[in-house]
Structure 1
Amino acid sequence: MTDLPKLTVWYNTKCPVCNAGINRQRNRLLRAAQSGAIEFRDINFEPDALARFGADIEDVRRRLHAVDAGDKLHVGADCAVAIWRRTPGEGWLGRLLGLPGLIQVSRFTYDRFADLLYVWNRRKGHW
């Protein structure tokens, strides 16, 4: 396991794609989750949880959000990178996609996918 600070990840359980992705990560991160190194929270139960950062429920429905132990907010691809860095066997992916130059590509790709997924969820009524 990693020595990175605790990470609290906020996501939308009503999105089938988001929920499946987080469940996959949660299973891979079982040891980390049990030790308290990472926690997954459903934004639908605490819609104002990230208000101090200016983020609301719609922001989290559009992109993953996480807060680390240092109270730093990670959004979108930066959140995914933070999760991968804490996932056994996937730390290399987080380090790679978080490299200068590649993080911009990661953010662009994540944001385009997240935008499409958000529109799809709205059309399907996954709220």
Structure 2
Amino acid sequence: MSRPVLTVWYNTRCPVCDAGIGRQKRRLVEAVKAGRIEFRDINLEPDALSSRGIALEDIRRRLHATDAQGRLLVGADVAIAVWLTTPGEGWLARLFGNRLMLPPTRIAYDRFADLLYGWNRRKGRW
């Protein structure tokens, strides 16, 4: 089987992350079945991206993914890539991933991710 178009690593211990990815999995069920996109729990593969110098805590803080060419995507860029593959959500990718909106989208994603990460740490979800 060929390499998936997108492999996304996420934190299932974060209820917000897990719910968001669960929603995307339901929207992308055919792509998941066909092996075009994979969603992988970093807690089951804590060293999955260590060869790229990415620590477990980095992935718990922000989504990480690799594309079909093996390029690494982080944070908002992962969300945009997932939206591009999700039927009916390409408009989100075009809106938040265009040249003008991408910088503030990345900043907003990173700030939200920092808050969510802190909340999960305080709740002991590690």
Partner of 1:116: 115
The 5 A counterparts of 1:55-70 are 55-70=54-69
Question: What is the rounded CA distance, in whole Å, between the counterparts of 2:87 and 2:108 in structure 1?
Answer: 24
Partner of 2:29: 30
User: Does residue 6 of the first structure (1) align with residue 2 of the second (2)?
Assistant: no
Question: What is the rounded CA distance, in whole Å, between the counterparts of 2:119 and 2:108 in structure 1?
Answer: 17
Partner of 2:81: 82
User: Does residue 52 of the first structure (1) align with residue 54 of the second (2)?
Assistant: no
Q: Deviations over 1:22-50 (max 9, x none)?
A: 00010011111111111000001111111
Question: What is the rounded CA distance, in whole Å, between the counterparts of 1:53 and 1:100 in structure 2?
Answer: 27
Q: TM-score, normalised by structure 1?
A: 0.94
1:101 positional shift: 1.8
1:96 positional shift: 2.1
Q: How many residues align?
A: 123
Q: TM-score, normalised by structure 2?
A: 0.94
Q: C-alpha root-mean-square deviation of aligned residues, in Å?
A: 0.9
1:110 positional shift: 0.2
Question: What is the rounded CA distance, in whole Å, between the counterparts of 1:53 and 1:101 in structure 2?
Answer: 29
Percent identity between the two aligned chains: 64
Question: What is the rounded CA distance, in whole Å, between the counterparts of 1:101 and 1:53 in structure 2?
Answer: 29
Question: What is the rounded CA distance, in whole Å, between the counterparts of 1:46 and 1:56 in structure 2?
Answer: 11
1:52 positional shift: 2.3
State the secondary structure of the residue aligned to 1:44. Answer: coil
Q: Deviations over 1:75-125 (max 9, x none)?
A: 000010001000010012112211112110110100000000000000001
Question: What is the rounded CA distance, in whole Å, between the counterparts of 2:94 and 2:69 in structure 1?
Answer: 19
1:58 positional shift: 0.2
The one-letter amino acid paired with 2:28 is: L
